[in-house]
Amino acid sequence: MKNIKAYITKNKDRFIDELIELLKIPSISADANYKKDIIKTAVAVKIALEKAGCTKVEICETTGCPIVYGEKIIDANLPTILVYGHYDVQPADPLELWTSPPFEPVIKKTKIHPEGAIFARGACDDKGQMYMHIKAFEYMIANNNLPCNVKFMIEGEEEIGSPSLEYFVKQNQEKLANDIILISDTGMISNTQPSITTGLRGLSYVEVEVTGPNRDLHSGLYGGAVANPINILTKMIASLHDQNNHITIPEFYDKVLELTNEERIEMAKAPFSLEDYKKTLEIESVHGEKGYTTNERNSIRPTLDVNGIWGGYTGQGAKTVIASKAYAKISMRLVPNQTPNEITTLFQKYFKSIAPKSVSVKVTPHHGGFPYVTPIDNIGYKAANKAYTKTFGKPAIPQRSGGSIPIVALFENELKSKSILMGFGLDSDAIHSPNEHFGIFNYLKGIETIPLFYKYFVEMS
């Protein structure tokens, strides 16, 4: 692949411009007001796949946002790589915290990205990382060195739990048949230390509603005599962790697969500075489950976090009121062998049981997802590692991530194939946050590394 570097140098500006155009479309899947932008993005992805060299590209309608499918089949006897990614993005709020508007991409230099990074919602998660695959494919077609068949499945509902994809995958088993699934929707340790994600956490997401009196009350006339749902809710939430930051829900940890000592020792070898970690987040101390390191807490251990909490008066000034209702959105990250349904049921049962008689509690489950771990002794991992070794000058470190891509476990069950998670983002890229960005270095390194994965995977097959 001696041409790849020259090809990237020659086309670098165009690669960046094309991604910037894609990032301008606000494809927010969570908000129905952006439906036309979702469609516009799906069409843009379709055109990009066609231009890059796919011979069959279609926009597959679902009951939600469409899935873009494209393929290039060169020889039925050769292996097939299925590339998965998503074109939808998270909502951009809070808007006032962005230093430039989320859908007006600009390149800015940062300490970690001295050669510049593209700032925009979706730059890293996942438009930038998904687009690397289209450009890598374009290179292989243009240089006549595509070594195998390729299929692309780019969905538009990942950020809302992929509600349509399960049905689509089940209905299209043959169309999606493959030898390996390749995904860039995760991160790596740093720009000088590549890593391959070998695990994702699962997810159980619930919304709770605590109701006290049947209407909002004057907090002087009634205060002290009736339950205040906000007081009660916060107390209930606080009791979900004990003094060791262990989750108190009975049976919550029963199925958790503990790592062996050897595995934990191996994990601890990955480069990590707790001092830098605290410094970048401007915190004096970390916080988490007793007996586990920071890297263990955010990857191999299950968690429970409040994602949002509201109720009562939050406007200007002061209003003396006891609200009738209080709400919270709570997520639990799961690890093997926890299952989202079981955990949601355990939560539901326990949360209702700890409520005092003075309030009533409703728990509504949102989406969930299974955790995923993959071994490193397969050719997919080996090919990816060889590709990183070539482009970064050192082997990748296997690393379990704390994030979730629920569809990966489903792929394994339905399509019977492994997923290789070649992520090129950094934790500091601020995905889901204001000022999300993706390094130009990372974008181009991805385009450079992906064709090597194809080459080595086919050679090892």
Q: Given the rule CB under 6 A, which residues bind ligand BES?
A: 125-126, 158-159, 161, 185-187, 200, 203, 367, 369, 401, 403-406
369 binds, among Mn ion, ligand BES, none (CB under 5 to 8 A by kind): ligand BES
Q: Of 83 and 200, which has the nearer Cβ to ligand BES?
A: 200
Q: Of 185 and 429, which has the nearer Cβ to Mn ion?
A: 185
Q: How far is the CB of 436 from ligand BES (least distance, A)?
A: 11
401 binds, among ligand BES, Mn ion, none (CB under 5 to 8 A by kind): ligand BES
Q: Would you count residue 185 as binding Mn ion (CB under 5 A)?
A: yes
Q: Would you count residue 179 as binding Mn ion (CB under 5 A)?
A: no
Q: Of 127 and 455, which has the nearer Cβ to ligand BES?
A: 127
Q: Please give the single-letter amino acid code of residue 424.
A: F
367 binds, among ligand BES, Mn ion, none (CB under 5 to 8 A by kind): ligand BES
Q: How far is the CB of 102 from ligand BES (least distance, A)?
A: 16
As a whole number of angstroms, the distance between CA 298 and CA 341 comes to 22
CB count within 10 Å of CB 417 equals 17
161 binds, among Mn ion, ligand BES, none (CB under 5 to 8 A by kind): ligand BES
Q: Would you count residue 155 as binding Mn ion (CB under 5 A)?
A: no
403 binds, among Mn ion, ligand BES, none (CB under 5 to 8 A by kind): ligand BES
Q: How far is the CB of 50 from ligand BES (least distance, A)?
A: 25
Stretch in the footprint of Mn ion (CB under 5 A) among 70-78, 184-192, 243-251, 277-285: 184-192
Q: Would you count residue 429 as binding Mn ion (CB under 5 A)?
A: no
404 binds, among ligand BES, Mn ion, none (CB under 5 to 8 A by kind): ligand BES
Q: Would you count residue 37 as binding Mn ion (CB under 5 A)?
A: no
Number of residue whose CB is nearest ligand BES: 403
As a whole number of angstroms, the distance between CA 118 and CA 100 comes to 11
Q: How far is the CB of 112 from Mn ion (least distance, A)?
A: 20
Q: How far is the CB of 27 from Mn ion (least distance, A)?
A: 12
Q: How far is the CB of 174 from ligand BES (least distance, A)?
A: 27
Which residue from 439, 390, 454, 417 is spatially nearest to 138, judged by alpha carbons?
454
Q: Of 16 and 200, which has the nearer Cβ to ligand BES?
A: 200
Q: Would you count residue 436 as binding Mn ion (CB under 5 A)?
A: no
Strands 180-183 and 419-421: parallel
Listing from the earlier edge strand, what are the strands of the sheet with 360-369? 303-311, 325-334, 202-211, 360-369
186 binds, among Mn ion, ligand BES, none (CB under 5 to 8 A by kind): ligand BES
As a whole number of angstroms, the distance between CA 195 and CA 350 comes to 38
Q: Would you count residue 157 as binding Mn ion (CB under 5 A)?
A: no
Which 106-125 positions form the footprint of Mn ion (CB under 5 A)?
125
Give the residue carrying structure tokens 């469409």: 66
User: Residue 258 burial (CB < 10 Å; 0-12/13-18/19+)?
Assistant: exposed
User: Residue 412 burial (CB < 10 Å; 0-12/13-18/19+)?
Assistant: middle
As a whole number of angstroms, the distance between CA 234 and CA 315 comes to 20
How many helices (H) and strands (E) the chain has is answered by 12, 18
Q: Of 18 and 126, which has the nearer Cβ to ligand BES?
A: 126
Q: What angle do CA 407, 457, 53 make, to 5 degrees?
A: 75
Question: From the list 126, 138, 155, 179, which residue makes contact with Mn ion (rule: CB under 5 A)?
Answer: 126
Contact 137, 52 (CB under 8 A): yes
Q: How far is CA 204 from CA 26, 298, 350, 406, 440, in A?
A: 27, 16, 15, 10, 34
Which residue from 376, 405, 186 is spatially nearest to 266, judged by alpha carbons?
376
Q: How far is the CB of 223 from ligand BES (least distance, A)?
A: 38
- Strand ranges (E), 232-348: 303-311, 321-322, 325-334
Q: How far is the CB of 199 from Mn ion (least distance, A)?
A: 16
Contact 189, 119 (CB under 8 A): no
Contacts to Mn ion by CB under 5 A: 125-126, 185
